[in-house]
Amino acid sequence: MLLAAMSARADCSRAIHVPMSPIGLSVSFEDGRAQGIYPTLLREVAAADGRCQFDMHRVPRARLQSLFDAGQADMLVPASATPARDAIAEFVPLIQVRASLLTLDTDAPVPRSLAELLARPDYKLAVVRGFSFGAAYDSTIATLRQRQRLVEEADPSGVARALRQGLAHATVMTASILVGTLVVDGELTPLLKRLRVEPLEELGWHASGLYLSRRSLNEADRRTLRQALAQAARSGRIWQLFNELHPPGSLGVSIRPLTP
């Protein structure tokens, strides 16, 4: 489905520089070509009138944020809102997400809150370095790091392997990220049947989307992109892409449309 309603407005002054890192079914690469939900969305935005083009290429996750911070990337996608990012960029919400506690087929009682997790002295988490799911998450991760109860990996695949190897008891992230990673990586796909998802009291629903850099994009280009991408969210296209690519029934606890 093309985003035809935007065609009169999409008029970027230059190609938009969008470095990306693999993240489940949201962003993947095959033979150097970006694929997945967000590359598909951006290509549809570009195709709406042919005047707004996106230069998408792969970079390591550790480098992605630094490029954006330095004004060497026009977009950060996907992303959750944080105060540090808000200081240098404009957030465009596209979807609602909720991070959860994810474990592999354990019958042991699991923490129901971040506070309970912190209170368990031997409980370790594996997380993706640089991920953020709000202030409560960030504070918990900082405390676990200080207490040496944190396994930090470069990407969700590393987190899945850490859980499989028993290096950590659980991870905290949006379930769709890990589900998508297990679907894409055949070596890890058997873990899908073992995945257990539990909500945490402090982590509710919040908007996820992308950032438009104030350091590299002029105001007119940001306005053009904001209008185009907001239309994609309102049209339901982004939600449709999530449902097309993820296993049936896997999204309910982690992702929902921006508006009912």
> Cα(85)–Cα(174) distance, rounded to whole angstroms?
19
Domain identity same for 125 and 34: no
Domain identity same for 132 and 91: no
Quick one: pLDDT at residue 11? Answer: 81
Q: Which of 173, 198, 223 is the last residue of a domain?
A: 198
Apex 200 CA angle, 199 and 204, nearest 5: 85
Could you list the residue range(s) of the whole structural domain that residue 90 is in?
4-95+215-257
Domain identity same for 51 and 14: yes
Question: C-alpha distances in angstroms, 100 versus 158, 174, 175?
Answer: 18, 6, 7
Quick one: pLDDT at residue 1? Answer: 47
The residue type of 179 is V
Query: How many domains does the structure of the chain reveal?
Result: 2
pTM to 2 decimal places = 0.85
Q: Which of 148, 167, 198 is the last residue of a domain?
A: 198
Domain identity same for 123 and 75: no
Apex 95 CA angle, 91 and 99, nearest 5: 95
Residue 209 lies in a domain: no
> Cα(224)–Cα(99) distance, rounded to whole angstroms?
30
Domain identity same for 178 and 238: no
> Cα(151)–Cα(165) distance, rounded to whole angstroms?
12
Quick one: pLDDT at residue 260? Answer: 60
CB 87 within 8 A of CB 212: no
Q: How long, in residues, is the chain?
A: 260
Query: What SS3 class is residue 221?
Result: helix
Residue 204 lies in a domain: no
Q: Within 10 Å of residue 214's Cβ, how many Cβ atoms?
A: 15
**CATH number for the domain including 190?**
3.40.190.10
Domain identity same for 46 and 71: yes
Domain identity same for 154 and 183: yes
Query: What SS3 class is residue 162?
Result: helix
Quick one: pLDDT at residue 49? Answer: 63
The residue type of 142 is A
Apex 248 CA angle, 242 and 251, nearest 5: 50
> Cα(59)–Cα(56) distance, rounded to whole angstroms?
10
Closest CA to 238 of 207, 217, 198: 207
H helix runs in 120-192, sequence order: 135-146, 156-164, 175-184
Domain identity same for 11 and 82: yes
pLDDT digits (tens, 9 = 90+) for 130-142: 898 989 999 999 9
> Cα(126)–Cα(217) distance, rounded to whole angstroms?
35
Quick one: pLDDT at residue 4? Answer: 45
Which H or E element spans position 149?
A: none
Under-70 pLDDT residues of the chain: 1-10, 49-51, 260
CB 238 within 8 A of CB 232: yes
Residue 207 lies in a domain: no
Residue 46 lies in a domain: yes
